[in-house]
Amino acid sequence: MIRLDKLTKRFGTNTVLNGIDLTIQDGERVVIIGPSGTGKSTLLRCINFLDRPDEGVIGIGDLSVDAARATKAQILGLRRRTAFVFQNYALFANKTARQNITEALITVQGRPRAEAEARADTILQETGLADKADSYPAALSGGQQQRVGIGRAMALDAELMLFDEPTSALDPEWVGEVLDLMRRVAERQQTMLIVTHEMQFAREIADRVIFMDGGRIVEQGPPAQIFENAQDPRTQAFLRRVKQ
Amino acid sequence: MLGLVPIILGYLPLTMFMAAVGMICALILGALLAVERVARIPVLDQAVVVFISFFRGTPLLVQLFLFYFGLPSLMPFMSGLTGVQATIIGLTLHFSAYMAESIRAAIQGVDRSQWEASEAVGMTRIQMMRRIILPQAARVAAPTLMNYFIDMIKSTSLAFTLGVTEMMGATQKEASSSFLFFESFIVVALVYWVLVEALSFVQRRLETNLNKAFTR
Ligand SMILES: Nc1ncnc2c1ncn2[C@@H]1O[C@H](COP(=O)(O)OP(=O)(O)OP(=O)(O)O)[C@@H](O)[C@H]1O
Ligand SMILES: [Mg+2]
């Protein structure tokens, strides 16, 4: 289970996350939607301390971290319980597709190389990239890079997978293959927290949709409720805009 | 006059030895200094800034004299220092200061996404540096570092002022016994020139390969 308690983040005087409370059950798929600049990315980045939250508590499984007093070990603990898929892929440029997947298994998790490589090859099969195993990121299309990015996250067997607009940087022709892969990740009962502008995909994959605005959770519920029967005027206005 | 060439070349191994050992030590020290400059460890950082400033801000010849003639009078245990050792120490410290600055710039030039991805998978700072950041920074810094190596080879000629008979020292001796000053020094100049040109050729080949890297 994932618990966020009064998570708060300020950039200078700008309060970007305004006391976020959120509980996610194991295996649950939660999609966050909302206008630009609302703090969606910041929320994801605070959960694994890519951005350091100012206040609040982050709980993942048996680890509970008070943001204001987080130690290095606790931050590593959060990072090792989560996996992050970046909007811009952020593959290790000096590593091949296979090495991108094995790197953390060997360096961070201390698994034997042979085991890590076997795992990577399985994942490359599943992501349809077996023939690209020895390619460097620079030689891959955007869609292929993002599939490696998701594969790298899958390999970690994280308690929570975080996706920050994984298809936003892609040419339209590659969006479909990445969403397909995410559907397959979802089938494994992987707990997922996804920020996306793909409303159709959100409706289809989400157990719960959260609408964020101004650093707060404005409204949440099952996709049908949010997309067809939103209560808050801000949610309604946002959904009208994205439908156009 | 051409008879000088084999005599001078006989000292090429010593010249290259000093340059190679100096280069390896300077690279290691330079990388450590650069990582410190990026991490900014309190107190140590101030010391590193002063170190870099001093070794970039004073002539190499002065530094060599300081090590060879100055230190033993201050610290008697240093009196066993040979000219070759003093030269290697001098080259190491002097060039590590320059290399630290180019390596630091290369480290800070590594894309932010690389740092974030390393953090996100749970790497420690040391793992991140060793596995992801430094290998990428090395590609960027390589051409500059290669230039420092070439510079270092030429700088080994200063060792003759510490009484070391390397290529320059040998030429000096030949010149003063034969009185063929112009001939001797033009020959040694040509030897350095050919040596540096050969290395520049290797450098250009290396750069083409570096540019091709990470794109297979
Ligand atoms: N490093 C930073 N320094 C200062 N302000 C920041 C920083 N990162 C984000 N912000 C600010 O925080 C606010 C929230 O940004 P965030 O990226 O979380 O929004 P978002 O909901 O992900 O938007 P988008 O849909 O455009 O990705 C914005 O006002 C942004 O300008
Ligand atoms: Mg964002």
Mean pLDDT of B81-95: 95
pLDDT of residue B216: 54
Residues 6 or more apart whose Cβ sits within 8 Å of residue B29: B92, B93, B96, B99, B100
C-alpha distance from A48 to closest chain B C-alpha (Å): 7
> A194 is written with which tokens?
């996804």
For an interface test with B, the pick among A94, A96, A159, A164 (most B C-beta atoms closer than 10 Å) comes out as A94
DSSP state of A207: S
pLDDT of residue A204: 94
H-type alpha helices, chain B: 4-9, 12-39, 44-57, 60-65, 71-74, 83-109, 112-120, 125-128, 134-155, 167-178, 181-212
What is the rounded distance in angstroms from the CA atom of residue B30 to the CA atom of residue B103? 7
What is the rounded distance in angstroms from the CA atom of residue B95 to the CA atom of residue B53? 12
Mean pLDDT of B174-193: 91
What is the rounded distance in angstroms from the CA atom of residue A230 to the CA atom of residue A239? 9
pLDDT of residue A96: 96
Q: Which helix (H) or strand (E) holds A148?
A: helix A142-155
pLDDT of residue A148: 97
A82-85, strands of its sheet edge to edge: A82-85, A160-164, A192-195, A29-33, A208-213, A216-221
Identify the three-state secondary structure at position B184: helix
**Percent of chain B beyond pLDDT 70?**
98
DSSP state of B68: I
Per-residue pLDDT band at B79 (split at 50, 70, 90) = confident
For chain A, the structural domain boundaries read 2-243
A232 C-alpha to center of ligand 1: Å?
Answer: 23
For the beta carbon of residue A134, count every other beta carbon within 10 angstroms: 11
Q: Please report, as a single letter, which amino acid is at residue B105.
A: A
Q: Please report, as a single letter, which amino acid is at residue B16.
A: M
pLDDT of residue B104: 96
Instruction: List, in order of start, the domains of chain B with CATH numbers.
Output: 15-164 (1.10.3720.10)
Q: Is A39 in the pocket of ligand 1 (CB under 6 A)?
A: yes
Contact B132 A92 (CB under 8 A): yes
| Residue whose pair of structure tokens reads 């694994």 in the numeric block | A48
Instruction: Please compute Rg for chain A using Cα positions.
Output: 18
Spans of chain A below 70 pLDDT: 244
C-alpha distance from A135 to closest chain B C-alpha (Å): 5
pLDDT of residue A8: 97
**From A90, A94, A136, residue closest to B116, measured CB to CB:** A90
Q: Is A36 in the pocket of ligand 1 (CB under 6 A)?
A: yes
- In CATH terms, the fold of domain A2-243 is Rossmann fold (3.40.50)
B66-70, B168-172, B206-210: range with lowest mean pLDDT: B206-210
Facing residues of A160 across strands? A82
Q: Is the pLDDT of residue B213 over 70?
A: no
Contact B181, B33 (CB under 8 A): no
pLDDT of residue B3: 83
Write out pLDDT tens, residues B186-211. Answer: 999 999 999 999 999 998 888 887 77
Write out pLDDT tens, residues B112-147. Answer: 999 999 999 999 999 999 999 999 999 899 999 999
